[in-house]
Amino acid sequence: MTPSVLPGAAGPNFTILLIADSPPAEPRTDFETPVARREAVISLARATFAVGGSIAAPLDVDVAPLLGTLALDYLQPRAAELHGEPPPPRVTVMETQRSSEPARRLLAPLSARGAIRFRDQQGEEVVLEASTEAQIEGLSDVGRHRVTAAMVHVVNPKFAILINPGSRVIDEVSVLRESDVPTFNFGLEALDDETAASLHQLSVEDPTARMLEGTTRSPWVGDDVTPGSRHPVPPYAYLMQRLLAERLDI
Protein backbone atom coordinates (compact mmCIF):
# COMPACT_ATOMS: atom_id res chain seq x y z
CA MET A 1 0.00 0.00 0.00
CA THR A 2 1.33 3.41 -0.92
CA PRO A 3 1.92 5.59 2.15
CA SER A 4 -0.33 8.63 2.44
CA VAL A 5 1.24 11.94 1.56
CA LEU A 6 -1.52 13.97 3.17
CA PRO A 7 -0.33 16.49 5.77
CA GLY A 8 -0.62 14.92 9.19
CA ALA A 9 -2.12 11.72 7.81
CA ALA A 10 0.07 9.64 10.08
CA GLY A 11 1.81 10.23 13.36
CA PRO A 12 1.12 10.36 17.08
CA ASN A 13 -2.39 10.98 18.33
CA PHE A 14 -2.34 13.67 21.02
CA THR A 15 -4.03 16.89 22.06
CA ILE A 16 -2.46 20.17 23.13
CA LEU A 17 -4.49 22.58 25.22
CA LEU A 18 -4.01 26.19 24.12
CA ILE A 19 -4.69 29.25 26.26
CA ALA A 20 -3.98 32.45 24.33
CA ASP A 21 -4.73 35.67 26.16
CA SER A 22 -5.36 38.90 24.27
CA PRO A 23 -2.63 41.55 24.53
CA PRO A 24 -3.37 44.09 27.27
CA ALA A 25 -5.06 47.35 26.30
CA GLU A 26 -1.96 49.22 27.45
CA PRO A 27 1.11 47.10 26.67
CA ARG A 28 3.87 47.29 29.28
CA THR A 29 6.61 47.12 26.62
CA ASP A 30 7.14 48.23 23.04
CA PHE A 31 6.84 44.69 21.69
CA GLU A 32 4.38 43.99 18.89
CA THR A 33 2.33 41.59 20.97
CA PRO A 34 -0.66 41.21 18.58
CA VAL A 35 1.73 40.06 15.85
CA ALA A 36 3.59 37.75 18.23
CA ARG A 37 0.39 36.22 19.56
CA ARG A 38 -0.93 35.42 16.09
CA GLU A 39 2.42 34.04 14.92
CA ALA A 40 2.68 31.83 18.01
CA VAL A 41 -0.83 30.41 17.51
CA ILE A 42 -0.24 29.74 13.81
CA SER A 43 3.12 28.10 14.46
CA LEU A 44 1.73 25.85 17.19
CA ALA A 45 -1.22 24.79 15.05
CA ARG A 46 0.87 23.96 12.00
CA ALA A 47 3.48 22.07 14.00
CA THR A 48 0.77 20.07 15.79
CA PHE A 49 -1.38 19.26 12.76
CA ALA A 50 1.64 18.26 10.68
CA VAL A 51 2.42 15.34 13.00
CA GLY A 52 -1.15 14.15 13.48
CA GLY A 53 -2.04 16.01 16.66
CA SER A 54 -5.00 18.16 17.59
CA ILE A 55 -5.54 21.36 19.55
CA ALA A 56 -8.18 22.11 22.17
CA ALA A 57 -9.01 25.61 23.33
CA PRO A 58 -11.63 27.24 25.52
CA LEU A 59 -14.05 29.34 23.51
CA ASP A 60 -12.38 32.46 22.10
CA VAL A 61 -13.90 34.20 19.09
CA ASP A 62 -10.47 35.47 18.02
CA VAL A 63 -8.43 32.28 18.34
CA ALA A 64 -11.00 29.60 17.42
CA PRO A 65 -11.64 30.82 13.83
CA LEU A 66 -7.89 31.06 13.24
CA LEU A 67 -7.32 27.49 14.45
CA GLY A 68 -10.25 26.20 12.40
CA THR A 69 -9.10 27.93 9.24
CA LEU A 70 -5.60 26.46 9.62
CA ALA A 71 -7.10 23.01 10.21
CA LEU A 72 -8.80 23.15 6.80
CA ASP A 73 -5.38 22.69 5.19
CA TYR A 74 -5.03 19.33 6.93
CA LEU A 75 -8.43 17.84 6.14
CA GLN A 76 -8.34 14.39 4.60
CA PRO A 77 -10.64 13.36 1.72
CA ARG A 78 -14.29 12.84 2.47
CA ALA A 79 -15.47 9.51 3.86
CA ALA A 80 -16.84 8.44 0.47
CA GLU A 81 -13.39 8.79 -0.99
CA LEU A 82 -11.71 6.96 1.88
CA HIS A 83 -14.37 4.21 2.08
CA GLY A 84 -14.52 4.72 5.83
CA GLU A 85 -15.20 7.15 8.62
CA PRO A 86 -13.56 10.60 8.36
CA PRO A 87 -10.98 11.44 11.01
CA PRO A 88 -12.11 13.60 13.94
CA PRO A 89 -11.69 17.37 13.64
CA ARG A 90 -8.22 18.71 14.44
CA VAL A 91 -9.64 21.47 16.67
CA THR A 92 -11.86 21.16 19.72
CA VAL A 93 -13.51 24.32 21.07
CA MET A 94 -15.35 24.09 24.38
CA GLU A 95 -17.73 26.45 26.13
CA THR A 96 -16.85 26.44 29.80
CA GLN A 97 -19.12 29.27 30.84
CA ARG A 98 -22.57 30.18 29.56
CA SER A 99 -23.38 29.24 25.98
CA SER A 100 -22.79 31.85 23.29
CA GLU A 101 -25.07 31.85 20.26
CA PRO A 102 -22.98 34.48 18.39
CA ALA A 103 -19.85 32.34 18.78
CA ARG A 104 -21.71 29.22 17.71
CA ARG A 105 -22.94 30.92 14.54
CA LEU A 106 -19.44 32.21 13.82
CA LEU A 107 -17.87 28.75 14.06
CA ALA A 108 -20.67 26.81 12.36
CA PRO A 109 -19.14 26.91 8.83
CA LEU A 110 -15.83 25.53 10.11
CA SER A 111 -17.65 22.86 12.10
CA ALA A 112 -19.68 21.85 9.04
CA ARG A 113 -16.47 21.34 7.07
CA GLY A 114 -14.99 19.06 9.73
CA ALA A 115 -12.34 21.46 11.01
CA ILE A 116 -13.83 22.13 14.45
CA ARG A 117 -15.57 20.01 17.06
CA PHE A 118 -17.68 22.16 19.39
CA ARG A 119 -18.52 21.08 22.95
CA ASP A 120 -20.78 22.62 25.57
CA GLN A 121 -20.10 23.03 29.30
CA GLN A 122 -20.92 19.38 29.95
CA GLY A 123 -18.48 18.25 27.28
CA GLU A 124 -21.22 17.10 24.93
CA GLU A 125 -20.63 17.63 21.21
CA VAL A 126 -22.90 20.29 19.69
CA VAL A 127 -24.04 20.37 16.08
CA LEU A 128 -23.74 24.00 15.06
CA GLU A 129 -26.22 25.64 12.72
CA ALA A 130 -24.88 28.12 10.19
CA SER A 131 -26.26 31.63 10.18
CA THR A 132 -27.64 33.40 7.13
CA GLU A 133 -26.96 36.80 8.65
CA ALA A 134 -24.52 39.00 6.77
CA GLN A 135 -23.05 40.14 10.09
CA ILE A 136 -23.17 38.30 13.40
CA GLU A 137 -24.12 40.58 16.26
CA GLY A 138 -22.78 40.28 19.78
CA LEU A 139 -19.34 38.85 19.09
CA SER A 140 -17.60 41.77 20.77
CA ASP A 141 -19.30 40.80 24.03
CA VAL A 142 -17.91 37.26 24.00
CA GLY A 143 -14.80 37.07 26.16
CA ARG A 144 -12.39 34.16 26.27
CA HIS A 145 -13.75 31.31 28.36
CA ARG A 146 -11.64 29.84 31.13
CA VAL A 147 -10.12 26.40 31.32
CA THR A 148 -11.94 24.26 33.89
CA ALA A 149 -11.33 20.87 35.46
CA ALA A 150 -14.20 19.52 33.36
CA MET A 151 -12.54 20.68 30.15
CA VAL A 152 -9.22 19.12 31.13
CA HIS A 153 -11.03 15.84 31.79
CA VAL A 154 -12.84 15.96 28.44
CA VAL A 155 -9.91 16.85 26.17
CA ASN A 156 -7.18 15.00 28.16
CA PRO A 157 -4.26 17.13 26.90
CA LYS A 158 -0.71 15.86 26.56
CA PHE A 159 0.45 19.29 27.70
CA ALA A 160 -0.71 22.90 27.67
CA ILE A 161 0.70 26.05 26.15
CA LEU A 162 0.08 29.59 27.37
CA ILE A 163 0.55 32.45 24.93
CA ASN A 164 0.88 35.95 26.32
CA PRO A 165 -0.63 34.99 29.70
CA GLY A 166 -2.07 37.59 32.05
CA SER A 167 -2.72 37.40 35.77
CA ARG A 168 -6.15 35.81 35.34
CA VAL A 169 -4.58 32.68 33.88
CA ILE A 170 -3.13 31.66 37.26
CA ASP A 171 -6.36 29.96 38.35
CA GLU A 172 -6.45 28.05 35.05
CA VAL A 173 -2.85 26.92 35.45
CA SER A 174 -3.67 25.73 38.95
CA VAL A 175 -6.38 23.52 37.42
CA LEU A 176 -3.85 22.15 34.93
CA ARG A 177 -1.32 21.40 37.63
CA GLU A 178 -3.93 19.60 39.76
CA SER A 179 -4.39 17.29 36.77
CA ASP A 180 -0.62 16.95 36.27
CA VAL A 181 -0.72 18.61 32.85
CA PRO A 182 2.75 19.98 31.95
CA THR A 183 2.40 23.64 31.02
CA PHE A 184 4.65 25.96 29.03
CA ASN A 185 4.55 29.72 28.57
CA PHE A 186 5.40 31.75 25.47
CA GLY A 187 5.00 35.50 25.24
CA LEU A 188 6.80 38.73 24.48
CA GLU A 189 4.79 40.79 26.93
CA ALA A 190 6.69 41.19 30.19
CA LEU A 191 4.89 39.54 33.09
CA ASP A 192 4.31 41.51 36.25
CA ASP A 193 6.33 40.24 39.21
CA GLU A 194 3.37 38.62 40.96
CA THR A 195 2.24 36.70 37.86
CA ALA A 196 5.79 35.63 37.04
CA ALA A 197 6.30 34.37 40.60
CA SER A 198 3.00 32.46 40.52
CA LEU A 199 3.83 30.76 37.21
CA HIS A 200 7.26 29.81 38.53
CA GLN A 201 5.70 28.34 41.66
CA LEU A 202 3.35 26.33 39.45
CA SER A 203 6.33 24.96 37.47
CA VAL A 204 5.44 26.77 34.24
CA GLU A 205 8.52 27.15 32.04
CA ASP A 206 9.16 29.58 29.21
CA PRO A 207 11.50 27.41 27.07
CA THR A 208 12.34 30.16 24.57
CA ALA A 209 15.82 31.03 25.86
CA ARG A 210 16.72 27.37 26.44
CA MET A 211 15.68 26.31 22.96
CA LEU A 212 17.44 29.20 21.24
CA GLU A 213 20.66 28.70 23.16
CA GLY A 214 23.46 27.79 20.82
CA THR A 215 21.57 28.73 17.65
CA THR A 216 23.20 30.94 15.05
CA ARG A 217 22.71 34.60 15.88
CA SER A 218 20.30 36.29 13.48
CA PRO A 219 17.88 39.23 13.32
CA TRP A 220 15.40 36.99 15.19
CA VAL A 221 17.55 37.01 18.31
CA GLY A 222 19.28 40.37 18.03
CA ASP A 223 20.97 42.25 20.87
CA ASP A 224 19.40 45.65 20.20
CA VAL A 225 17.65 46.67 23.42
CA THR A 226 18.07 50.41 23.08
CA PRO A 227 15.13 52.61 24.17
CA GLY A 228 12.48 52.84 21.48
CA SER A 229 13.74 49.79 19.62
CA ARG A 230 11.47 46.88 18.76
CA HIS A 231 12.34 43.27 19.33
CA PRO A 232 11.49 40.99 16.41
CA VAL A 233 8.96 38.25 16.98
CA PRO A 234 10.80 35.07 18.10
CA PRO A 235 10.99 32.22 15.56
CA TYR A 236 7.86 30.53 16.86
CA ALA A 237 7.75 27.98 14.04
CA TYR A 238 11.15 26.70 15.19
CA LEU A 239 10.25 26.87 18.87
CA MET A 240 6.96 24.99 18.55
CA GLN A 241 8.53 22.24 16.43
CA ARG A 242 11.34 21.89 18.97
CA LEU A 243 8.87 21.71 21.87
CA LEU A 244 6.75 19.02 20.19
CA ALA A 245 9.81 16.98 19.30
CA GLU A 246 11.04 17.24 22.87
CA ARG A 247 7.75 16.37 24.56
CA LEU A 248 6.63 13.68 22.11
CA ASP A 249 10.02 12.16 21.36
CA ILE A 250 9.53 12.47 17.61
pLDDT tens digit sequence for 87-126: 789 999 999 998 999 899 999 999 999 999 999 999 999 9
One-letter amino acid at 59 equals: L
* Structural Rg of the chain based on CA atoms: 19
* Nearest partner of 189 among 45, 39, 62, 22, judged by Cα: 22
Taking the model in full, what pTM does it have? 0.84
State residue 225's pLDDT score.
43
The whole-number pLDDT of residue 114 equals 92
Domains of the chain: 15-248 (3.40.50)
Q: What are phi and psi of 43, to 5 degrees?
A: -65, -40
Over residues 158-185, mean pLDDT:
93
Grade residue 163 by pLDDT with cuts at 50, 70 and 90: very high
Provide mean pLDDT across the span 172-194. 88
Q: What is the band of 11 on the pLDDT scale with cuts at 50, 70, 90?
A: very low
Q: What is the pLDDT of residues 189-246, one digit of tens each?
A: 667 888 889 999 999 999 998 998 877 655 454 444 444 445 567 899 999 999 999 9
| More confident position, 6 or 198 | 198
**Could you tell me what percent of the chain has a pLDDT over 70?**
76
Reply yes or no on whether the pLDDT at 32 is more than 70: no
> Lowest mean pLDDT: which of 115-119, 142-146, 155-159, 214-218?
214-218
pLDDT at 7 over 80: no
CB 150 within 8 A of CB 121: yes
Stronger pLDDT, 15 or 84, i.e. the higher one:
15
The pLDDT of residue 59 is 96
Question: Which pLDDT belongs to residue 158?
Answer: 96
Q: Taking 80 as the threshold, does the pLDDT of residue 137 lie above it?
A: no
